[in-house]
Structure 1
Amino acid sequence: MIDIDIKDNDSISTPNMECFFQNKRRIMSIGIFAAIAAALAAGLIPVLTKALMLDGLSATTILFYRYVVVFVVLGITFIVKKENIKLSIRQVFGLCIFSVFGYGGATFLLAQAFNFMPMGLATMLYFSYPFFVVLIMRVVFKEKPNRTKIIALGIAILGIIFLINFDFQLVNFGSILAMGSGLAYGIYLVSLQKSVLQKLKDPVIIFYLGGISAVIFGLQGCLVSGNPEFLRLPVKGVFFTVALGLITIFVLKMVTYAIKKIGSTQTSLIIAFEAVVTLVLGIVLYGEPWNGNTVFGALLMLVSVILVSRTSDIDIILE
């Protein structure tokens, strides 16, 4: 009787287990696809930005419209879903600060860097942000980096040296802007973990950052040009700026979905290849220069991002 019961249980449980693993594999594959889609889409943002700048549009104009689209589309989404997105005074203040010195500042500095250096190289230097995250956590929050983070920082520095082809004369205004964008994005990432923003959902943060950034870039454009002429867009500019806004939202949605399905570690590993997408498209579409040092430097930067991402997830688990 016992043998019969065991066989019966096996015959019932085995298909159930197979079904469970099949469903899990399917969910994992969908999550991986979402992360890949996010990386590919994010890699297009610098490409479209560069195309508009080559047509004579300023970074201020491009970013103004990009964030207007983000603010409007997400705003409509919140209204339709009737979501409560009220903020405290401290959160409003925090969002204003980190719009200027964090998220908005990062996108502006990176776009400006495209005027002085190849788009792909600028984007790779922007991926120095893990270095600044660790540095900020050490200096401001007295968090001692572990061995993995120290190794990652060393790899990042070596990667930057390879990217500039061992020629320190290439450390010009463009590379400073690109590194500055990495610093600004590092400030933004730290703010998500250590400030009043940590309790807000990602779509809510992006919604308000979009609105605040649109106002800031709008005012900047008016002050610099002295008139609202900077708001004029050619037909191509309308399509591309709308696309930039929609891609920004799409990337956010895909990353959020991927994290839920495959976890933040695997998602961050895949998303890191955004920089490779931009580097390759810059070479193919704009004929940007490259050599073996460029490729090896890019790989080192990716390894650095991956190491920091993995050790950050472990730190969160230990906490």
Structure 2
Amino acid sequence: MNTNQYTMGRVEWIMLLALSLLWGFSFINIKNSLDQIPPFTLVFLRLCIAFSALLLWCLISNKQLRLSAREQLLLLGGGLLSCAIPFSFFTWGQQHVSTSIGAIFNGSVPFFTAFLAHFFIGGSERMSWRKALGLGMGMLGIITIMGLDKLNNFDLTSLGQLSMICACFFYGCSGIYYQKFVPDHIDKTVVTTYTLIWAAIAMSLVSINIEGIPSFDYRLDVWLSLFILALFSTALAYIILFRLLKRAGPSNTSLNTFIIPVVGIFVGIALLGESLNSQDIFGVVLIFSGVAIIRNFDSLLKKLFRKKATPTKLKL
């Protein structure tokens, strides 16, 4: 699509905020679900419920679900990189890390994307002094939150934080992978559906072998958190994401990088009584500053608020 057709009007801002809220609230639902569901089983159940909902959406919308063996193989790789592996790292890590800190680390994905894009995408995505500065500030922010003392004395909290950093690395890998290898002609909702299906198949092997067959004997509030996580923070969030990408474009959509950690921190403090110390706050400032530099935030804001022509109507 021509970027001249992208717009960031009232509807697009509402969609962006809705997407950020859905993903920002996922941290508290993961935390609550972990109260009774083991981490790998939680990832498996989340994926199963989400792909079932998206598959139903595809059938209702008459999406073309038939793909070649090569395309399925590519989406298998995507399912591992974008869902199975990072979901597992993040969910396991959140057992030992607060919701607020988890949200902060999630905001570091652009650093890994920028670093990997230099080697695997090239062109305009190559590392510049601006991106290198942003990357350095972001890494310094992560180290600040983890604490130099804990880097020398690893405990479960440190391992949880490291696990979340690994998840962000794989999220960065998945963005590069989809850009380079997954064909553009496949409907994005279909891509997501098969991505979740393959990820669920992979996690069924992991969760059953490590944690056994799920008992399903969970409290009502745990079931509620699980379904909210799967249906809203996964299935619905992806539907909104692809609509927003078509209407507003990838640069405008990337603004969720700034909003999601804010939502996650607010939820952790307001609903769980968590707190951030001065070291955490300084780390947050460094990470946000690094992301702003990498995203070229000043020029992005000018682009957002420049008057644009109304785009043609698009359907997902």
TM-superposed deviation, 1:140: 4.3
Corresponding position: 1:282 with 2:268? yes
Match of 2:252 in 1: 266
In the alignment, is residue 135 of structure 1 matched against residue 115 of structure 2? yes
Q: Give the corresponding residue for 2:26.
A: 45
Structure 1 Cα separation of the partners of residues 134 and 30 of structure 2: 30
Q: 2:133 aligns with which of 151, 159, 171?
A: 151
Which ranges of structure 2 fall in alignment gaps of 5 or more residues?
A: 1-5, 301-316
Q: Following the alignment from structure 1 to structure 2, what is the Cα–Cα distance between the partners of residues 199 and 124?
A: 34
Normalising by the residue count of structure 2, what TM-score does the alignment of the two structures yield? 0.81
Q: Greater Rg, structure 1 or structure 2? A: 1
1:244-259 matched pairs, under 5 angstroms: 244-247=229-232, 248-259=234-245
Alignment of 1:106-255 (within 5 A): 106-140=86-120, 144-165=126-147, 167-169=149-151, 172-226=158-212, 228-247=213-232, 248-255=234-241
Task: Tell me the amino acid that sits aligned with residue 34 of structure 1.
Answer: M
Once residues 233 and 217 of structure 1 are traced to their aligned partners in structure 2, the CA distance between those partners, rounded to angstroms, is 20
Question: Is 82-91 or 29-38 further displaced after alignment?
Answer: 82-91
**Which amino acid letter does the alignment assign opposite residue 100 of structure 1?**
L
Q: Which residues in structure 2 correspond to 1:2-41 (within 5 Å)? A: 28-41=9-22
Aligned in 2, Cα 1:235/1:197: closer, same or farther, shift over 3 Å? farther
- Cα 1:215–1:85 change in 2 (3 A) is same
Tell me how large the CA RMSD over aligned residues is: 2.7
Shift, 1:278, TM fit: 0.9
Contact 2:33 2:223 in 1 (8 A): no
Match of 2:78 among 83, 95, 98: 98
Q: Please give the per-residue CA displacement for 1:15-64, whole angstroms capped at 9, x wherever unaligned.
A: xxxxxxxxx99x7011111101111111111110101112x211222222
**What is the distance in 2 between the residues matched to 1:44 and 1:224?**
28
**Alignment deviations for residues 48-100 of structure 1 (CA, whole Å, 9 cap, x no partner):** 0101112x211222222211121111111111221112222222112222322
Q: Contact conserved, 1:110 with 1:123, CA < 8 A, in 2? A: no
d(CA) in 2 for partners of 1:269, 1:229: 37
Amino acid at match of 2:133: I
- Match for 2:129: what amino acid? R
* Alpha-carbon offset, residue 168 of structure 1: 4.3
Whether contact under 8 Å (1:113, 1:174) holds in the other structure is yes
What SS does the corresponding residue of 2:65 show, helix, strand or coil?
coil
Gaps of 5+ in 1: 1-23, 315-319
Q: When you count helix as a share of all residues, which structure comes out higher?
A: 1
- Distance in 2, Cα, partners of 1:207 & 1:256: 12
What's the CA shift for 1:101? Answer: 3.2
